[in-house]
Amino acid sequence: MAGNRAVVYAKPGEVEVQDISYPELILRDGPGVNPLNVGRKCNHGVIVKVVTTNICGSDQHMVRGRTTAPSGLVLGHEITGEVIEVGSDVEFIKKGDLVSVPFNIACGRCRSCKQQDTHICENVNPDRPGSAYGYVDMGGWVGGQSEYVMVPYADFQLLKFPDKDQAMEKILDLTMLSDIFPTGYHGAVSAGVKPGSTVYVAGAGPVGLAAAHSAQLLGASVVIVGDLIDSRLAQAKSFGCETVNLRKHPNLGEQIEQILGVPEVDCAIDAVGFEASGHGEGAGEAPATVLNSIMDVTRAGGRLGIPGLYVTGDPGGIDDDAKEGTLKVRLGLGWAKAHTFVTGQTPVMKYHRDLMMSILSGRAQIAKAVNATLISIDQAPQGYKEFDSGVSKKFVIDPHGMVRS
Ligand SMILES: NC(=O)c1ccc[n+]([C@@H]2O[C@H](COP(=O)([O-])OP(=O)(O)OC[C@H]3O[C@@H](n4cnc5c(N)ncnc54)[C@H](O)[C@@H]3O)[C@@H](O)[C@H]2O)c1
Ligand SMILES: [Zn+2]
Ligand SMILES: [Zn+2]
C-alpha cells in the first residue's frame, strides 16, 4: 500500500512533514479526532489523490498557537484532487474524476444541508454544527495537506471539473474553489455588493484579495483595501484596487474620504478576524478593531460581510475576555446605523460551481489576484513561515509534483 506524507502541526510556530497512515473509508482515532467520531464508517466517501492543497490564514491561527489544536493534528482543508477509490455507497462520482473538495464537511441529509447551509451541517461534528478537514474542534476529519485524504459524502459534496486537461491548465485558479474564492465572494455577496457599489475590504491577505476581486466581478465601482503591510497592498493595487495603509494612516474614514469624497462606503468586508492589529504605528493586537472600524465607515443600512474568523477560545488572547472570544464591539453604533452582520464559515457549495465557470471562461483571474505560488510538500514548513511573515503569496502545495510536471 502507498505511504502518505502530510503536514502536521507540531507546536506553536512549527509544522512538520510526517508519514501518516494511508486513508481508509472510516474515521480512525488520532490527534484531534472527536471520540464520538472514532470508527465512523464512510462508505459514502472516496479516497482522493491530492493534486493541490493550499495553506490558509485559518491554518495560521492554529500554527501560531492561538487555538487549542493538539500537537499531531494533520493540517489542510483546501483540497483539490483525483478520485482514486470510491466507497460502496457512492453512486455518481467515479474513479478518475478531478474534483474540488469544499472545505466544509456536509452530510447533505440534515436540516441545514437541505437549506444549502453546508457550513453548519448538523451531522459531522459532535460538538456543534459545522466542520472542516484538519481543523481544531471540527470533529477530527483528517486534513488534506497530504498525498492522500478521505472525503466523506462524496456524491453530495464534490465538484467535478468538466474536462481534466482544461482543469490541469487552470489548476492554480481552480484550487481556490475549495475555500478562498467562495469565501471572498461570500463576503462580498453578504456585504450586498452590486453594480456601482463602493466597497471597503479590511485585510489584503488571500481572503481579502479574493473578496476584492469578487467585488469587482459583482460590479463594484470602487474597491478600497486596507492592511498594514505594503507588499500586500501593492498586490491589491496590481488588479485595480485603491489601498489604505492603516499603519501610516490610522484614520480610515479620512482615507476613504480622500478617495471617494465622502468618509463612507456602501459595503464592507472583514477579511482579518480576531488577530486584528490596531491602526497606527506601533499598535498592538486589538481584536475588535476591524469590526468597529467597518461599522464606522459603512453607510447606514449597509451590510457587513464578516468571513474573518472569530473564536470561542483563544489561549493567546490579549485579556481574559478575549481569551473566551468576548470582544469590545460597539454594537450600539451598528444598531444605530441599522447594519446587517453576516458571520460564520462560508457555505462553499452555494458558490463553487458558478465560480468554477467564471474561471473556466477566463472571466475570473483568482490565481493572479492572490499571487498563487506553487511549492512542494517538503517546502510546506518554509511556506508556513513565509506566509506568517506577511509575504503576499497564496501557497499551493503540490504533493505529488503533478502540477510542476
Ligand atoms: N469564514 C470562512 O469560512 C473563512 C475561510 C477562510 C479564511 N477565513 C478567515 O479569513 C481571515 C483572513 O484569511 P487570510 O488567509 O487572508 O489571512 P491572513 O492572515 O493572510 O490575512 C489577514 C490580513 O489582515 C491584515 N490585518 C491585520 N489587522 C488589520 C486591520 N486592523 N485592518 C486591516 N487589515 C489588517 C494582516 O496584516 C493580514 O495581511 C482569517 O481570519 C481566516 O481564518 C475564514
Ligand atoms: Zn482556508
Ligand atoms: Zn448536513
Domain CATH number, residue 372: 3.90.180.10
Q: Kindly state the average pLDDT of the residues 378-402.
A: 98
Q: Does one domain contain both 158 and 60?
A: yes
Give tens-digit pLDDT for 214-260.
Answer: 999 999 999 999 999 999 999 999 999 999 999 999 999 999 999 99
Q: Is the CB of 203 under 6 A from ligand 1?
A: yes
Average pLDDT of the segment spanning 360-389: 98
In a domain, 403, yes or no: no
167 Cβ inside 6 Å of ligand 1: no
Rg, Å, the chain Cα set: 20
On whether residue 268 sits in a domain, the answer given is yes
Question: How far is Cα 279 from Cα 203, in angstroms, rounded to an integer?
Answer: 12
| Residue where a domain terminates, one of 343, 359, 375 | 343
405 inside domain? no
> What's the 196 CA to ligand 1 centre distance in angstroms?
25
What's the CA gap between 387 and 379, in Å, rounded?
12
Closest protein CA for atom 10 of ligand 1: 308
115 C-alpha vs ligand 3 centroid, how far in Å? 9
Q: Does 2 score more than 90 pLDDT?
A: no
Cell numbers found for residue 335: 444598531
Are residues 138 and 72 part of one domain?
yes
Whose Cα sits closest to atom 11 in ligand 1? Answer: 308
Task: Say yes or no: 35 and 137 in one domain.
Answer: yes
67, 136, 137, 227: residue to mutate for ligand 1 pocket, most atoms within 8 A of CB: 227
Q: Does 284 fall in a domain?
A: yes
- Tell me: do 246 and 357 sit in the same domain: no
Ligand that lies nearest to the alpha carbon of residue 370, given by its number in the listed order:
1
In a domain, 311, yes or no: yes
Is the Cβ atom of 73 under 6 angstroms away from ligand 1? no
Question: Are 234 and 286 contained in the same domain?
Answer: yes
Regarding whether 146 and 252 lie in a shared domain, the answer is: no
**Residue 244 beta carbon below 6 angstroms from any ligand 1 atom:** no
* Shared-domain flag, residues 65 and 210: no
Indicate whether residue 229 lines ligand 1 (CB < 6 A): yes
- The C-alpha cell at 21 is 497512515
How many C-beta neighbours within 10 Å does residue 358 have?
Answer: 18
**Cβ of residue 308 lying under 6 Å from some atom of ligand 1:** yes
94 and 218 in a single domain? The answer is no
Q: Which of 305, 322, 343 is where one domain is finished?
A: 343
Average pLDDT on 134-151 reads 97
The response to whether residue 66 sits with its C-beta less than 6 Å from ligand 1 reads no
Q: Can you tell me the mean pLDDT for 135-146?
A: 96
User: End of a domain among 298, 320, 343?
Assistant: 343
* 141 in a structural domain: yes
Examine the domain organization and report whether 67 and 139 are in the same domain: yes
Is the Cβ atom of 309 under 6 angstroms away from ligand 1? yes
93 domain-assigned: yes
**71 C-alpha to center of ligand 3: Å?**
28
Average pLDDT in the chain:
97
pLDDT tier at 1 (50, 70, 90 boundaries)?
low
- Indicate whether 208 belongs to any domain: yes
How many angstroms separate the Cα of 96 from the Cα of each of 52, 83, 113?
15, 5, 27
21 with 67, same domain?
Answer: yes
Q: Mean pLDDT lowest for which of 6-10, 25-29, 290-294, 310-314?
A: 310-314
CATH number at residue 237: 3.40.50.720
Q: Is 297 in the pocket of ligand 1 (CB under 6 A)?
A: no
The pLDDT > 70 percentage for the chain reads 100
- Averaged pLDDT, 357-370: 98
Q: What pLDDT digit, counting tens, does each position of 18-62 carry?
A: 999 999 999 999 999 999 999 999 999 999 999 999 999 999 999
Whether residue 156 is found in the same domain as residue 127: yes
Which residues constitute the domain of residue 221? 180-343
Cα(206) to centroid(ligand 3), Å? 28
The per-residue pLDDT for 279 is 97
Query: Do 72 and 31 fall into the same domain?
Result: yes
Residue with CA nearest ligand 1 atom 7: 58
Atom of ligand 1 nearest to the CA of 273: 41
pLDDT attached to residue 405: 83
Note the pTM of the prediction, 2 decimals: 0.98
Could you give the number of structural domains in the chain? 2
